[in-house]
Structure 1
Amino acid sequence: MLLLPSLGPFHILHPRYNAATVLALLEEAEPPVLYLASHSEEALREGLWREEDPLLFHLLPWAEAKGIPVVALDEEAHLKGEAEAFREALAQHPLGASHLERMRAFDEALLDFLKTPLTPEALGSETFLGRLREVYEGFAQAFGEGPATGFRARRMAKVAEALPQEGAVVADLLDYLFLAERFPEARPKAHEPTEEERQRALLDRAWQLREEDDWAGLLEGLFGVGSPEALYLAAQVYLAAGEWQEALKLMEEVFRMDFQHPGYLPGYVLARLGQLLDMDGQRERALRAYRGVLALSWAPEEARAIALAGLRSPFQIAS
């Protein structure tokens, strides 16, 4: 068995443990089945994972291409919502403010873990798990192992009982903590980065474009990758630099490619294309692009918001 943690949207912060790293580890393991410890069959079927676990945008197509069945094991995943309800109840209580402040302190401690550079071997180490356990147990002792934690211990105990000895398991970080203690031999180990991981790290860096980045070097790398996602991100760099005409040329090129994967890309491509067409005075084409976003079976909320705004009025860069 191979057990891997999902870092959710935080994979882009970790060049040595990004989405391509997870795929590379799975490739090496050649699992007969891929188990999702933190999702229910309903969430998998209805796509409810999209906003909370973007890693699956990469895992699910990989498994489908390999003919590997994907099985969601968390039959009580709906209980995760109890944690948010618990916080909402505290927010309404006259004495809840101090408790929420303590919760935020635990949240910050967990974020520190997710922002510290991580590798497969670090995630599998007793040092890392011990520190993570300390944070989680502090939270559970303060607020109880129940609604406040989304009944995590109970849910993962059931998942552990359902797990066979063969296959690969992917679990949210805190769920992974419980399973890693139950199956220590399945924890991830040291891994030599692949070219795909290096390319993914470059794409992830571009998604986080910052003023202090080497934009010219980033563009060179993105053009070297040449995928629809890479060219979309190159267009983003041009737009951020004020060169919207170059951005539009690139987006037109992406539009002529197959840009269906990853699953979050179509919405972003069409939304940004609409904005650039508006800037070029091509209002009718821009409207078609915006409508295309809304016609997708799913698009990121940010892309939908851009499309709705674009339908109301032509996009303009604020002066």
Structure 2
Amino acid sequence: MTLTLLPDVGDLLRLSPQYNAGTVVELLRFLGASEVWWATGLDPDHPLRDALPAARIGIRDVSPDWAFADAEYHQLTNFLNQYPQGRERLRAAGQAERALSAALAEPLSAVRVTSPELLDAARAYHAATRTALDEGPGTRWQERRLSELAAALQGQSGVVLVALDDLPGLQTLIPESILPDLTNFAPGELSRVRALVDRAWQLNEGDDLGALLAALDRESGDLVTPKAELDAAAASIHLAVGDLAAARALLERAAHGLTDLPRSLPGLTLARLGQVRDAQGDRDLAVRTYRAVLALNHAPAIARETAEAGLKVPFSLEIPATD
């Protein structure tokens, strides 16, 4: 019985054209996995919480709830920050974290996230943090947490999704575990379309908006990135330049194409549609749209916050003046 450890990079999936939620789905299909052991973070808005169920890949949670460890970590750092020696220890830990962040800032791919170079960077980060702050609250109880994970996975087989920085430690505790053999793997259409939409959601100054809109319009969508999300992403571009009519038309089309999966999309789409209707002065319909967001079984935190704010104060869009 073999466990294959697949690295998770959390929200960096949204920023990595070659290692995004679509790529992970393709990797799991390449590995022949119809389900995955979830041994990474408990963030309900994790991009794979949307992508995997939408792709009909099951999730089996084994990650223990160690949220209290974050609170203890912050208590420790606040305490240490009161003393010169404590601040020196925090500087050493901060340097280790910056080194890992720098390694993760380089372009990610399926090959790179499983590379000895990046896994060694994760090992070095935890070793330096442990040296600076000791095992316990300073490491968010990593040794105990990984021991619990290893025990939960004892005797199991399949693919385990594990936070990249936890992977080396978990592999040590489960010596029979392996990394995926990516010799014949190449990202495909799911990865490409996901990268396009992730890019459209994060506009930068100087972007060719016309090219982005044309690219979005050419796609028909798939299970991970359906047509409704392509329309919603295009609407966000129109909204960014103040074209409310085009944004509303696309969002209303997206709303009519919504299904239960991906589970975050209805909330995000309706919250933005409520804002556009508000900005056009259609307050009654905007309020009903915000309430529809709050009535959903699942809506991302940002969608709920947007809807709650919209119910209190009508949304207005400020368009910068142009010469």
In which range does the TM-score fall when normalised by the shorter chain? 0.7 to 0.9
Deviations 1:249-281 (A, max 9, x none): 111111111243322222211111111111222
Contact 2:73 2:137 in 1 (8 A): yes
After superposition, the Cα gap between the structure-2 partners of 1:81 and 1:104, relative to the gap in structure 1 and judged at 3 Å, is: farther
Q: Unpaired segments of 5 or more residues in structure 2?
A: 221-226
Counterpart for residue 266 of structure 1: 266
Contact 1:13 1:115 in 2 (8 A): no
After superposition, the Cα gap between the structure-2 partners of 1:272 and 1:79, relative to the gap in structure 1 and judged at 3 Å, is: closer
Whichever residue aligns with residue 13 of structure 1, its letter is: L
Structure richer in helix, relative to its length:
1
Contact 1:9 1:55 in 2 (8 A): no
1:121 CA displacement: 1.5
**Higher deviation after alignment, 80-89 or 301-310:** 80-89
1:138 CA displacement: 0.6
Equivalents in 1 of 2:181, 2:236: separation in Å? 35
1:19 CA displacement: 0.8
Contact 2:255 2:269 in 1 (8 A): yes
Equivalents in 1 of 2:17, 2:75: separation in Å? 35
1:71 aligns with 2:73: no
Q: State the identity as a percent.
A: 33
Counterpart for residue 11 of structure 2: 9
Whichever residue aligns with residue 230 of structure 2, its letter is: A
1:50 aligns with 2:22: no
After superposition, the Cα gap between the structure-2 partners of 1:79 and 1:28, relative to the gap in structure 1 and judged at 3 Å, is: same
After superposition, the Cα gap between the structure-2 partners of 1:305 and 1:16, relative to the gap in structure 1 and judged at 3 Å, is: same
Counterpart for residue 213 of structure 1: 207
Counterpart for residue 224 of structure 2: none
Equivalents in 2 of 1:214, 1:159: separation in Å? 45
Counterpart for residue 45 of structure 1: none
1:58 CA displacement: 1.3
Contact 2:72 2:140 in 1 (8 A): no
Instruction: Please state whether the residue corresponding to 1:122 is helix, strand or coil.
Output: helix
Counterpart for residue 85 of structure 1: 72
After superposition, the Cα gap between the structure-2 partners of 1:220 and 1:116, relative to the gap in structure 1 and judged at 3 Å, is: same
Aligned length: 304
Q: How does 1:87-236 map to 2 (within 5 A)?
A: 87-92=74-79, 94-95=82-83, 97-161=87-151, 162-164=153-155, 166-181=157-172, 182-183=175-176, 185-187=178-180, 189-190=182-183, 191-226=185-220, 227-236=227-236
1:156 CA displacement: 1.9
Contact 1:37 1:170 in 2 (8 A): yes
Equivalents in 1 of 2:234, 2:34: separation in Å? 37
Whichever residue aligns with residue 305 of structure 1, its letter is: E
1:318 aligns with 2:318: yes
RMSD over equivalenced CA pairs, Å:
2.3
After superposition, the Cα gap between the structure-2 partners of 1:107 and 1:84, relative to the gap in structure 1 and judged at 3 Å, is: farther
**Higher deviation after alignment, 295-304 or 93-102:** 93-102
1:35 CA displacement: 1.1
**Higher deviation after alignment, 219-228 or 185-194:** 185-194
Contact 1:120 1:188 in 2 (8 A): no
1:318 CA displacement: 2.6
After superposition, the Cα gap between the structure-2 partners of 1:187 and 1:83, relative to the gap in structure 1 and judged at 3 Å, is: farther
After superposition, the Cα gap between the structure-2 partners of 1:195 and 1:54, relative to the gap in structure 1 and judged at 3 Å, is: closer
Deviations 1:100-156 (A, max 9, x none): 444433333332233211111222221221122112211111111222222222322
Deviations 1:55-84 (A, max 9, x none): 22212343xx35x5x33223xx23353143
